[in-house]
Chains A and B, each alone.
Chain A
Amino acid sequence: MLDQVAVHAEPVPAASQLTVLPFLAAVQGYLDAKQKIPGLRLTMHRVMSRAGQGYLQQVCAYLGPSDPNWRTKVGRAFPVTQGIIGAAFKDACIWRTKSYQDISLLHADLANDAARNNETLDLSKAPISFLAIPFIGASDQPVLILYGECAEFNLFADDAKIIDLRSMCVDFCQLLDWLEDQPFPNIRNYPLQKGVPVVDRETVYQSMQEPWRKLPAPKLVKVFSFNFENL
């Protein structure tokens, strides 16, 4: 039988991981400021190519509940149609979980969406709020995608929260643009080749997740791809 699923990781340079982890910690700090968000997990994916094919690759471990197998998550490569990050990649805009009046309505949509994707979910344990914020590169294609999930009802349905998070991402874009000028001699963003996106069935939760277009996605001015390495 062929292995179709990216069950294992491909390496991500440590400098790339270290570049995004502090930012994710800041996002976590912002979200947890008033009260600890249950089940909050944050990570970043990058657009990566390999042998001419383009994937979304998890850049770093999840920030959130401690995971003894975190190393195996870093570097996982997915088709560009994977879940909410795939939708953010395709539309180059922010995606999030819709606002619901009642959690039972959310659970109904989630169950339907999961069934459509042939996923088996334990609704009592599954995350119920999702967010994907793409960082649009200098060539107007997504370069990075911030991913968040949690068990807090309607967390990302709050527009004010999305506006704040987007603002953090815009400032992080400015930092990445500054890093493109190589302020540190031994660390730099080595360009990645562009690949033909590998597509599979779109697995975004179509009923419970939606694009958010009130503001454009954060934009990078100088960065075409994300691959920090150190000498």
Chain B
Amino acid sequence: MASDSPDTALLDRARGLEPTFRVKPGLYLLGSLERGVTVYSQQVRAHNLVWALWELSQSDGIEIKNVAVIGGGIGGLTATACLLARFGPAIHVTLFEKRRDLCPLQQGSDSRWLHPRIYDWPNLGSKAPDAKLPVLNWVEGRASDVARTVLQTFGGYCRRYSSPDTLSFYVGLRHFQITAALNEISWVGDKASIDGSFLVLHNSEGMIKRFDTIILAVGFGLEIQPPEFPLNSYWRNEIYGQPILNGTQQPYMVSGFGDGALVDLFRLTIERFRQDTVLPEIFPNYLEQLEEFLNDQWTNPEDNAFGFFTTIEADKLANGIRELSKRLRKDTRVLLHLSGRRGEIKTFPAVFGRASSFLNRLLLFMLYRCGAFHISFGPLEKAAKDHGAAGLNVLCRHGADVMQHLREIIADFDLIKDRLLAMKENQAQAPSEFWPPGFFPPFANGERNA
């Protein structure tokens, strides 16, 4: 039970938070099995976890001395920077990244847009572009710009808060295996150090080592790919958002109904689509009134939104649908394939549950009313063939298979399988800022945190 004392209340909060990340003692999973994972929400979770670990290390005697962070994406980098900044020389962090550079997914990704909170829309303040994070802050922009900012700032944190005694990097992993029962990691990879914001590779090493704490920030690079339709990662640059230059109209199929699939659907069906500008463009002059109305009326986010949209369509959405209908692409013919992973989706309204953000569901509904795409619930291959879409014109956005990824890197996966399934079911890692304001030290004096 929470006490009135601020100290005890904070400690209670930390004690409640830590188990939401804990797979087993000393092994933590950062958001990978949560719904609606974004770069920002993973960073918030990283702050929360490090704060909770700090509090418990000070009050409950949890030992945090030798930490492994698995994954050199933005979530893993944020966890590392938070650990270094807060624990200082009392800790050693070893950061593992499978590829040969940090932040490999978003680096150079010029065609994807990142915004910290737009998927919280229509919540008040969700359009604000500044992430306002104390560690590795950024503002909305192209994924490549965000990656650049994060990497530069991460380099600054390393410069200020780490030394070779407190931070190690291993990249380009040729072998990587965790034994959960022992909190032990076996790996073969290239030892690296950081110079500015760039990695410098050193010798290759193979090693087995135990850690008192392992933080898993993994799983997003491994997207589910049907073998018949291989596709590049969501983050690779492509030209789906650009007009077709040879004057033809081309058939495309987008399979899936998560945010990744819907963003690709929008790029293929809406002219000059940009996530950051589409709302004010289709709701000119009355976006704020609409937001106020939605905040007031859309009170249960767990509900399927289709019925709600139909009830407000005439009064609130008709003008937006009219605006949107003027902007349908003339050079594409798009099929939205919605069967689901196990063929469980049988009707169009069924995809308006929590599989995607409210914003994307609203745009999907409006596009549907514009007649902007075809719909299929049949087998993937047949749907593509019937629509005439082939090769790279078939975009399967079925999300990341985090469980499979974890199975591949954890030797005794069965030991923790039930706990992982429970974490997936519970969805307990709320991406709210639980750390007290001012907990994390600032970026280096005289240097810029975005």
Interface residues of A in 199-228 (CB under 8 A from B): 200, 227
Q: How far is the CB of B308 from chain A (nearest CB, A)?
A: 22
Q: Which bucket holds chain A's interface residue count?
A: 20 to 34
A190 at the binding interface (Cβ < 8 Å): yes
- Which A residue's beta carbon lies closest to that of B137? A11
Residue contact A190 to B128, C-beta cutoff 8 Å: yes
Other-chain residue from A10, A51, A200 in contact with B434 (beta carbon distance below 8 A): A51
Residue contact B6 to A229, C-beta cutoff 8 Å: no
Residue contact B436 to A11, C-beta cutoff 8 Å: no
Residue contact B130 to A13, C-beta cutoff 8 Å: yes
A33 at the binding interface (Cβ < 8 Å): no
* A77 vs B436: C-alpha distance when bound (angstroms): 9
Residue contact A4 to B124, C-beta cutoff 8 Å: no
| Contact A192-B437, Cβ < 8 Å, known A11-B133, A71-B445 | no
Q: How far is the CB of A229 from chain B (nearest CB, A)?
A: 5
Residue contact A2 to B438, C-beta cutoff 8 Å: no
Residue contact B132 to A10, C-beta cutoff 8 Å: yes
- Which A residue's beta carbon lies closest to that of B6? A4
B11 at the binding interface (Cβ < 8 Å): yes
Residues of chain A with a CB closer than 8 A to B441's CB: 8
Of the listed residues B7, B125, B434, the one surrounded by the most CB atoms of chain A closer than 10 A to its CB is: B125
Interface residues of B in 389-445 (CB under 8 A from A): 432-434, 436-442, 445
- Which B residue's beta carbon lies closest to that of A7? B438
Residue contact B449 to A50, C-beta cutoff 8 Å: no
Residues of chain A with a CB closer than 8 A to B436's CB: 3-4, 6
Residue contact B124 to A193, C-beta cutoff 8 Å: yes
| Contact mask for chain B residues 250-289; partner A; CB cutoff 8 A; 1 contact, 0 none | 0000000000000000000000000010000000000000
| Contact A71-B58, Cβ < 8 Å, known A4-B10, A77-B437, A229-B129 | no
A76 at the binding interface (Cβ < 8 Å): yes
| Contact A10-B438, Cβ < 8 Å, known A2-B11, A2-B55, A71-B446 | yes
Residues of chain A with a CB closer than 8 A to B439's CB: 3, 8
Residues of chain B with a CB closer than 8 A to A50's CB: 433, 437
* A71 vs B443: C-alpha distance when bound (angstroms): 9
Residues of chain B with a CB closer than 8 A to A160's CB: none
* A24 vs B432: C-alpha distance when bound (angstroms): 33
A29 at the binding interface (Cβ < 8 Å): no
Residues of chain B with a CB closer than 8 A to A77's CB: 437-438
- Which B residue's beta carbon lies closest to that of A4? B6
Residues of chain A with a CB closer than 8 A to B24's CB: none
Residues of chain A with a CB closer than 8 A to B438's CB: 3, 5-10, 76-77
A35 at the binding interface (Cβ < 8 Å): no
Of the listed residues B127, B436, B449, the one surrounded by the most CB atoms of chain A closer than 10 A to its CB is: B436
Residues of chain A with a CB closer than 8 A to B130's CB: 11, 13, 229
Residues of chain B with a CB closer than 8 A to A68's CB: 445
Residue contact A11 to B445, C-beta cutoff 8 Å: no
Interface residues of A in 87-103 (CB under 8 A from B): none
Residues of chain B with a CB closer than 8 A to A55's CB: 437
Residue contact A191 to B445, C-beta cutoff 8 Å: no
| Contact A11-B134, Cβ < 8 Å, known A190-B128, A231-B140 | yes
A72 at the binding interface (Cβ < 8 Å): yes
B123 at the binding interface (Cβ < 8 Å): yes
* A68 vs B446: C-alpha distance when bound (angstroms): 9
Residues of chain B with a CB closer than 8 A to A2's CB: 6-7, 10-11, 55, 58-59
Residues of chain B with a CB closer than 8 A to A11's CB: 130, 132-134, 137, 449
A104 at the binding interface (Cβ < 8 Å): no
Residues of chain B with a CB closer than 8 A to A9's CB: 134, 438, 442
Q: How far is the CB of A150 from chain B (nearest CB, A)?
A: 26
A118 at the binding interface (Cβ < 8 Å): no
Residue contact B128 to A229, C-beta cutoff 8 Å: yes
- Which B residue's beta carbon lies closest to that of A77? B437
Q: List 15 A-B contacts (CB under 8 A).
A: A1-B58, A2-B55, A3-B436, A3-B438, A4-B10, A8-B440, A8-B441, A10-B438, A11-B132, A11-B133, A13-B132, A52-B432, A55-B437, A69-B445, A231-B276
